Amino acid sequence: MPTVEFSPSIDSRPTYAPLKSHGSAPAIMVADTAGADALLDLMASDSAVTDKAQIVLIAPASDKLARMDLMVKTPVHTTPDLDTAGPLVRQLLSTARMGTQMYLAGSEGMMGALCALATACGLPMDAIQTEHRGTAARRMQCVHCKGITEDVTTDPFECSHCGLTLFVRDHFSRRIGAFQGVCVDAETPGLIPTTQEIRP
Amino acid sequence: MKKLTLRVAEITALSPLVKRFRLIHPDGAPLPLFSGGAHITVDMPEGDLIRRNSYSLVSNPYDGAGYEIAVRREDRGRGGSLYMHTRVSEGDLLTVSAPKNLFQLDLRARKHVLIAGGIGITPFLSQLHQLDILQQPYELHYAAHSRSEAAGLTLLPDAPHIHLHISEEGSRMDLGAILDGQPLGSHVYTCGPDGLIRAVADQAARLNWPTSAIHSEAFTAPPPGEPFEVTIASTGQHLRVGADQSLLEALEAAHVPVDYSCRGGACGRCETGVSACNGQILHHDHWLSPDEQASQTKIMPCMSRFKGARLELDL
Ligand code: FES
């Protein structure tokens, strides 16, 4: 899958770069099925990167899992979705030591959620690399009810918790790992701009 | 810059070379509180010259009853510490700056690893109070040549997470062993000689610590050196910088205003452009990048000196 070009935006908006090997440092790698290609590219660039790596694939397509299994010596963990990946990643972080690198690849929503989880466990931001692959869907937090809506692909969208129509901002909370959604018709109730697909 | 005039309430010898000065408000009024790692700048007037050195506060940051600093006598220094040791007595009034902090704890850390070399123990002494009150986990490693030189010893609690490394007794600090295997979210802080700061940064980098978790402060006072001359570009004025004077002090004496904060080459406040340079700037700061230093287009007057025919400052 080709990498997505994001349009320039405010500093708050996360940017992504291809994963770069930190050699054989202890590592935690997490990817969804689109991101698995980025991990495979990383491993092809430096096979030592998996020497002390724990690898988690979220809902991987079977061909990707098979390719990954061929690349690494340790078993690859798989989880059916992000919700089940969270506790597993948290457990890996709980025994990790300083020097551990985190490699995340895939959707913005997944990477945002896991970055927030990892920093809450003490991993500094500069030990985390992120490479975007796949969907441009966003993980959005409603600034009014604080509920999170996953996989938002349109602007505006309806908050899945409180039902307000929310405007998709580029303002990103690293602590929460989500973009901020703000009521689009607060000043002019009922006057809602036409729905557009989110541009990367 | 806000100044305080404080009375020297007590002077205590902590070691043959280190004295602690306790400063209180002359009326007993409470002093502004500070945070662990903060320092104050002390004015040391001599004739029509004012020398100013910065010293880390070693007292409890939450206690406004007094400030305490520990000063090591440097016989080969420019005279600042000698002034404190020989000219200041109990009961004297000293003019000091309000506390400033360039070496604060990162309170997001899960654990703090503090590494001190020699008199570099001083900023940690106030940080330990803060860490105890915040109940944050830490360990302290304190390296000194000998027990009698380890001035901080009397101020440190005897606790299992406080480790003393006395090289004379053959117990050298093993940075690899200290840094390897620290839990996720650890931050390391180093204060001491440049060599120690570099060694800790190198070791942490080898263990893949992210740079945001590595902190340091060099505790240097401006070094003495050969006298030199500078020219002020805007006025054509020539100034002579004496052997025991810093360039910043010479500029202040000539009423050429230059902003400052740390007076130790760390904060960047005194950065000054160089409009002409025929000779060699002797950079002693920790602020300019190696490239900037090599370009000889900027100087940090609080620390750096000059050797050569002509140095013109863009002032
Ligand atoms: S006063 Fe801080 S670098 Fe000179």
User: Which domains can be identified in chain B, with CATH numbers?
Assistant: 3-101 (2.40.30.10), 111-218 (3.40.50.80), 228-313 (3.10.20.30)
The per-residue pLDDT of chain A, averaged, comes to 93
A86 part of a folded domain: yes
A172 part of a folded domain: yes
A18 part of a folded domain: no
**CATH at A113:** 3.40.50.80
Statement to judge: residues A128 and A37 lie in one domain:
yes
Lowest mean pLDDT among A6-15, A34-43, B12-21: A6-15
Q: What is the pLDDT of residue A22?
A: 94
Statement to judge: residues A123 and A50 lie in one domain:
yes
A22 part of a folded domain: no
C-alpha B190 – ligand 1 centre gap (Å)? 19
A170 part of a folded domain: yes
Instruction: Give the integer Cα–Cα distance in Å for B136 and B208.
Output: 24
Top mutation candidate among B269, B288, B292, B299 for ligand 1, by most atoms within 8 Å of CB = B269
Nearest to A97 among B182, B211, B213 (CB): B182
Statement to judge: residues A99 and A149 lie in one domain:
no
Instruction: Give the integer Cα–Cα distance in Å for B269 and B287.
Output: 9
Q: What is the pLDDT of residue B46?
A: 85
Verify whether the Cβ–Cβ distance B210 to A22 is below 8 Å: no
In the structure, what pLDDT confidence band is assigned to residue B157 with cuts at 50, 70 and 90? confident
Q: What is the pLDDT of residue B1?
A: 63
Statement to judge: residues A106 and A188 lie in one domain:
no
A91 part of a folded domain: yes
Q: What is the pLDDT of residue B76?
A: 81
Structure tokens that stand for B1 in this block: 């810059």
pLDDT at A99 over 90: yes
Q: What is the pLDDT of residue A200?
A: 79
Mutate to test the interface with B, among A24, A98, A102 (most CBs of B within 10 A): A98
Statement to judge: residues A168 and A99 lie in one domain:
no
**A164: containing domain:** 138-197
Residue where a domain stops, chosen among A116, A132, A148: A132
| Neighbour-count burial for A153-192, b at 16+ CB within 10 Å, e otherwise | eebbbbbeeeebbbbbbeebeeeebbbbbebbeeeeeeee
pLDDT at A2 over 60: no
A11 part of a folded domain: no
pTM, 2 dp: 0.86
User: In angstroms, what separates the C-alpha of B179 from chain A's closest C-alpha?
Assistant: 8
Statement to judge: residues A48 and A113 lie in one domain:
yes
Q: What is the pLDDT of residue A9?
A: 86
Residue where a domain stops, chosen among A84, A101, A132: A132
Instruction: Give the integer Cα–Cα distance in Å for A95 and B5.
Output: 52
Half-sphere exposure of B256 (CA within 13 A, CB side): 23
In the structure, what pLDDT confidence band is assigned to residue A3 with cuts at 50, 70 and 90? low
Statement to judge: residues A105 and A185 lie in one domain:
no
Statement to judge: residues A58 and A111 lie in one domain:
yes
Q: Which residues between 19 and 58 in chain A have a beta carbon less than 8 angstroms from any beta carbon of chain B?
A: 22, 25-26
In the structure, what pLDDT confidence band is assigned to residue B219 with cuts at 50, 70 and 90? low
Statement to judge: residues A38 and A123 lie in one domain:
yes
The total number of structural domains in chain A stands at: 2
pLDDT at B309 over 60: yes
pLDDT digits (tens, 9 = 90+) for B22-57: 999 999 999 999 999 999 999 999 887 888 999 999
Q: What is the pLDDT of residue A1?
A: 47
Statement to judge: residues A113 and A185 lie in one domain:
no
- For ligand 1, whether the C-beta of B261 sits within 6 Å is yes
pLDDT digits (tens, 9 = 90+) for B56-101: 999 999 999 999 999 999 888 788 899 999 999 999 999 999 999 9
A9 part of a folded domain: no
Instruction: Give the integer Cα–Cα distance in Å for B30 and A83.
Output: 53
Statement to judge: residues A161 and A67 lie in one domain:
no
pLDDT digits (tens, 9 = 90+) for B126-135: 999 999 999 9
pLDDT digits (tens, 9 = 90+) for A28-52: 999 999 999 999 999 999 999 999 9
Residue where a domain stops, chosen among A132, A154, A189: A132
User: In angstroms, what separates the C-alpha of B115 from chain A's closest C-alpha?
Assistant: 17
Complex ipTM over 0.95: no
Statement to judge: residues A52 and A111 lie in one domain:
yes
pLDDT digits (tens, 9 = 90+) for B223-259: 889 999 999 999 999 999 998 889 999 999 999 989 9
Q: What is the pLDDT of residue B194?
A: 87
pLDDT digits (tens, 9 = 90+) for B158-205: 889 999 999 889 888 999 999 999 999 999 999 998 899 999 999 999
Q: Cα dist. B117→B27, B199, B287 in Å?
A: 37, 12, 21
